[in-house]
Amino acid sequence: MRGAAVFPGHRKLGIVHDVPEPIIDSHTGVKLRVLQVGICATDREIAGFHFGTPPEGSPYLVMGHEGFGEVVETGPEVIDLKPGDLVVPTVRRPCADPACAACQNDRADFCQTGTYTEHGIMGMHGFLTEFTTGEARYMRRVPPAIRDVAVLVEPLTIAEKAFIQAEQIQLRLPWKRPSGEVHAVVTGAGPVGLLGAMALRERGCQVTVYSREPETDLRANVTRAIGANYVSGQNMTPEQLAAGIGSIDLVYEATGSSMLAFEMLNALGRNGVMILTGVPGAHGPEPVDTGALITNMTLKNQCLLATVNAGSDAFDRAIADLSAFCAKWPDAVRGLITGRFTLEQFETPIQNASGIKSIIEVAA
C-alpha cells in the first residue's frame, strides 16, 4: 500500500509504494481504512528533520498523526466497534516500563519515562497511508453527522486536555463563578487556537482571540462567527488587551511564541491560569525580568500549566464538543479546513503553510 513518508537518514520525503499492509495481531485489535489526515506544525518539524523517528528496522517513517478512518475489520473479542464505524485513533502508545504509573493506567499522555511511541512521530508509522491497525480501546468512535470535520478531533484534544486540567486547578477557588463571567484569552488563531476558542465559547466563557493577523483576516471572521472577540496583535499590546478586558482569568497559548507567552503571563489577572501548548523552535535567549515575573505570579496566585498530547477522555470530549460546534456554528467549523490534498500531494501543505487547516484526503 502507499504511504507518505520521511526518510530521516536521507533527509528526504516521498511516497512509498510498498508499505506492508498491517494485519490485526490481537483478539482486541481493529483495522481501519484511513479517510482523512490533518497536517500541522509537528509534521513540518518532522519534514524539516528536527525530529521524527522511524519504527525500529525501517529506513522511513510514515507520517501523519491527526487521523480519521473507517473500521474495516475487527478482532474476535472486539465488542463495541464493527466494520463501517467511523473512528479517530489516539496518537500515543504506552512505554514498556512496568514502573511507569501513567502508562500502566493507560495515560501515556502523562508518560513518566519519555519512552512512549507515537503514530507518525516517534517509533510507529502514522496515518498517511491506506490502512492502519491498533487496539480497539485506542479508537474513539465518531458519529456520522460530523464525518466531514472529524479530522479536527485530534487538534481539538489539545484544548480539551488543557481545559480538563484547568477546571481541576480552579477547584482550588472555594466558590463557583458563572462561566459567563470568566474572561479567556486565546493567543494564536491557528487550528489549535480557534478550536480552543470554540471549546471555551461552548462552556459559556467570554473569549478574546489575540493573534498577529489583521482584523480583516479569515481567522478573525471565524472568531466573530463563534461569538468571540478578535484583537490583532498589530493594534494592541498584551498589556493594553488586559486593561480593556479588566481581568484575564485564563490564557490559552497556542502560538508557540515564547516572548508573547511571557508578555501574556504578565497580563494575566488574579487567580488566573495560563496554559502553554506551543513548542517554540530553538532560538537564542531573550530578556525577561524574572524577578518581576515571579513576584507578579506569586502575589496573584497564578498557575502556569503546560500540556501535550491527550488521553481517551479528551478525545471523547473533543468528539462531543465537535458535534456541538457543528450544531451551533456549522460554517465556522467547516471553514477551518481551507486546503484539501491527495496523498500524492502531501508535501505541498507541509512545505507551504497557508490558510487555516490543510488535510490529506486519503480515501473518499
List interacting residues with Zn ion (CB under 5 A): 40, 42, 66, 95, 100, 103, 111, 113
Residues 6+ apart with CB under 8 A from 220: 189, 209, 213, 214, 230, 232
Nearer Cβ to Zn ion (40/273): 40
CB of 251 to Zn ion, least distance (A): 21
Nearer Cβ to Zn ion (273/356): 356
Nearer Cβ to Zn ion (66/249): 66
CB of 154 to Zn ion, least distance (A): 6
Q: Are 232 and 220 in contact (CB under 8 A)?
A: yes
CB of 150 to Zn ion, least distance (A): 14
d(CA 224, CA 51): 36
Nearer Cβ to Zn ion (100/207): 100
Nearer Cβ to Zn ion (100/136): 100
CB of 155 to Zn ion, least distance (A): 6
d(CA 10, CA 106): 35
CB of 119 to Zn ion, least distance (A): 11
Q: How far is CA 38 from CA 11, 156, 331, 354, 359, in A?
A: 22, 12, 19, 13, 4
Nearer Cβ to Zn ion (78/362): 362
CB of 103 to Zn ion, least distance (A): 3
CB of 294 to Zn ion, least distance (A): 31
Nearer Cβ to Zn ion (43/263): 43
Nearest alpha carbon to residue 86 among 120, 35, 127: 35
CB of 6 to Zn ion, least distance (A): 15
CB of 2 to Zn ion, least distance (A): 21
Nearer Cβ to Zn ion (308/363): 308
Nearer Cβ to Zn ion (90/232): 90
What does the H/E/C string look like for the chain? CCEEEEECCCCEEEEECCCCCCCCCCCCEEEEEEEEEEECHHHHHHHCCCCCECCCCCCCEECCCEEEEEEEEECCCCCCCCCCCEEEECCEECCCCCCCHHHHCCCHHHCCCCCCEEECCEEECCCCECEEEEEHHHEEEECHHHCCCHHHHHHHHHHHHHHHHHHHHHHHCCCCCCHHHCEEEEECCCHHHHHHHHHHHHCCCEEEEEECCCCCCHHHHHHHHCCCEEEECCCCCHHHHHHHHCCEEEEEECCCCHHHHHHHHHHEEEEEEEEECCCCCCCCCCCCCHHHHHHHHHHCCCEEEECCCCCHHHHHHHHHHHHHHHHHCHHHHHCCEEEEECHHHCHHHHHCCCCCEEEEECCC
Nearer Cβ to Zn ion (40/88): 40
CB of 268 to Zn ion, least distance (A): 26
